[in-house]
Structure 1
Amino acid sequence: MKQAEKMQAEDRRVQIISRSTDLFLEQGFAGTSMSMIAKRCGITKASLYHHFNGKDELFVACVTSGYQRALDALTEIIAQADRPAGQKLAEAMTVLYDITISSSVGRMSPLIAEVSRTFPNVARSFHSEYIAPQQDLVWNLIEAGQASGEFKDLDRGLLFHMLFGPIVTLSLSREMFSTFDDLDEHFPVGHLRDGHLNVILGMLRKDR
C-alpha cells in the first residue's frame, strides 16, 4: 500500500471509530448494528468490514482510541532512570487518571461494564489490550522502586486493586452523574487523584 493510501485508510479508520463511539453511546452495544455504523459513517457494510472484522473488535477499538499515546507516555516516564520512583509514580498516576476519565474509556465506562458481562470475548479483549499493558508498565515502575530500596515489597494483586480500583470507580461515578451542574464539586478529579497518590505512596514507601 502506498503511503498516501495508508494515510487515507488510517483517516477513515479514525472517522469510523469516532462516529461508532457516538452511536454506541446513543444506542448501546446490543442496539447498534454494523449496518447502522456503516450508514452513520457513509460507507458500505463491506467497506466497514475491511477495517474491522466485527462489532466486538470495533467496540474495543472505540474504547481504547488514542490509548497508544498514553502507553507511550507511561513508557517514557518509567524510562527516566535518574528520577526517584515516587516522582515517576506521581506522573504515571496523572496519565492513568487522564486515560481512564478524560478519554473514550471514561465516556463509555458504564457501557463497558454492561458489555463485559454479556459478551465475555469483549471483556477479554478489553483487558488484554487496555488493562494488562498499563498494569505491566506500572509494575515495572514499582519493581524499579523496590530494587532501589525506595518501595516496600507488596502483593501485586492487592496493590493493583488499591491503585486502579478508585480510578475506575471515579470514572463510573462521573459518567453516572454527568448531568450534574456541579459535577466537579461532587467528584473533583485533581483533588481525589492527589489524595489517592498519597495513600498509595504511604503503602509503598519504606520511610513511612
Structure 2
Amino acid sequence: MLDRHTNRTVGGLERDMGWQMSESNAETAEKFDGRRQEIAQIALAVFLNKGYAGASMAQVAREAGIHKSSLYHHFSSKEAMFLAALTSDTATLLETVDRLAAAEGPGADARFLEALGVYFDVMRGSSIGALSTVIAETARQVPEVSVGFHTGFIARFRRTAQVLYGEAVAQGSRRPLREGTIERIIFGPLLADAMEDLMMDGVPAEDVETFATRDKATFIAMIDELTAA
C-alpha cells in the first residue's frame, strides 16, 4: 500500500518509525545512564564527607539538584546508591582487570604485572581505599552492602588475581603458591596503606613514616620479587 502524500509504502513508513523509536530509546537510555553516573559521583562525595550513616538520600538529591522521589528512579535504595558510588570511579579499572584475565596466549606475566598496577590504582587512588573503614563498618550492619561489595569487588579481585597468576605460573615465570596466598600478598600491603592514610589523616607528612608500597612502581617491583620463579 502506498501513502499518497509520500509515495512510500506503509510498511516502509512503519519500519522507519520503528527505527526512529529504537534510536530514540537508545538515546534516552544513554542519557539516563549518564545522569545516573553523575549522581553516583555526587553521592560518592557525600559518602566521603559524611560516611554511610551520616549520608542520606535527601542530601544527595539536594546536591544533585533533583527531588528525592526522582532519585529513586536511579537507585532503589541507599544501599544500591552506595555500591554505585563505589563503582563511579573504579568501573573502568575493574573492566581492565577483567579484560586482562580474559586474555589468552603468551604474555601472561606481562598481563599479571599490568594488573598489579591496576590493583594499586583501585586501592590507592579510588573510592575503595578512601572508604575502606566506611565499607567495613557498613558491610557489618547492612547485609545488602556486604553481599554487593563481595560480589562486585572482593570476588572479582580474587578471581582475576588467581587467573592471571595461575597463567603466569603455567608459563614458568612465577612460582607456585599455596591457595589464597597471592591475593594476600597483593592486597594486604595495599589495604594496610589505605588504612594508614585514614588513621594518619591530618598528621603532618614529615611526622608519618610511610611504606614503600605507596609508590606504584615500587609496589609492582616488590610483588615481582616475591613471586618470581
Report TM bin, short chain: 0.7 to 0.9
**Structure 2 counterpart of 1:82:** 106
Please tell me whether the aligned partners of residues 108 and 167 of structure 2 are also in contact (alpha carbons under 8 angstroms): no
CA 124–144 in structure 1, closer or farther in 2 if over 3 Å, else same:
same
CA 157–184 in structure 1, closer or farther in 2 if over 3 Å, else same:
farther
Residues in 2 aligned to 1:192 and 1:184: alpha-carbon distance in whole angstroms = 18
**Structure 2 counterpart of 1:64:** 87
* Structure 2 SS opposite 1:50: coil
Write the deviation string for residues 103-136 of structure 1: whole angstroms up to 9, x where unpaired.
1212222211221222233122111101211221
**Structure 2 counterpart of 1:26:** 49
Unaligned runs of 5+ in 2: 1-23
Unaligned runs of 5+ in 1: none
**Structure 2 counterpart of 1:73:** 96
Write the deviation string for residues 3-41 of structure 1: whole angstroms up to 9, x where unpaired.
332222122212211221122222221222222222222
Task: Report which of the two structures shows the higher radius of gyration computed on alpha carbons.
Answer: 2
Q: Normalised by the size of structure 1, how large is the TM-score?
A: 0.84
**Structure 2 counterpart of 1:172:** 195
* Structure 1 SS opposite 2:42: helix
Counterpart selection for 1:10 from 33, 44, 50: 33
**Structure 2 counterpart of 1:119:** 142
Write the deviation string for residues 66-95 of structure 1: whole angstroms up to 9, x where unpaired.
32311232244442733251x332221111
Residues in 1 aligned to 2:215 and 2:116: alpha-carbon distance in whole angstroms = 11
Whether 2:94 is the aligned partner of 1:53: answer: no
Residues in 2 aligned to 1:69 and 1:140: alpha-carbon distance in whole angstroms = 19
Please tell me whether the aligned partners of residues 60 and 122 of structure 1 are also in contact (alpha carbons under 8 angstroms): yes
Q: Structure with the greater relative contact order (CA < 8 A, sep ≥ 6): 1 or 2?
A: 1
Write the deviation string for residues 146-192 of structure 1: whole angstroms up to 9, x where unpaired.
22222222123122112211111111212332334527974366665
* Structure 2 SS opposite 1:29: helix
CA 167–191 in structure 1, closer or farther in 2 if over 3 Å, else same:
closer
Q: Which moved more, 1:27-36 or 1:190-199?
A: 190-199
* Structure 2 SS opposite 1:21: helix
* Structure 2 SS opposite 1:142: helix
CA 26–201 in structure 1, closer or farther in 2 if over 3 Å, else same:
closer
Residues in 1 aligned to 2:142 and 2:117: alpha-carbon distance in whole angstroms = 30
Counterpart selection for 1:139 from 148, 154, 162: 162
Q: Normalised by the size of structure 2, how large is the TM-score?
A: 0.77
CA 72–22 in structure 1, closer or farther in 2 if over 3 Å, else same:
closer
Q: Which moved more, 1:20-29 or 1:91-100?
A: 20-29
Residues in 1 aligned to 2:33 and 2:225: alpha-carbon distance in whole angstroms = 44
Residues in 1 aligned to 2:187 and 2:214: alpha-carbon distance in whole angstroms = 16
Please tell me whether the aligned partners of residues 140 and 146 of structure 2 are also in contact (alpha carbons under 8 angstroms): yes
Please tell me whether the aligned partners of residues 200 and 208 of structure 2 are also in contact (alpha carbons under 8 angstroms): no
Residues in 1 aligned to 2:161 and 2:207: alpha-carbon distance in whole angstroms = 27
Please tell me whether the aligned partners of residues 38 and 48 of structure 1 are also in contact (alpha carbons under 8 angstroms): yes
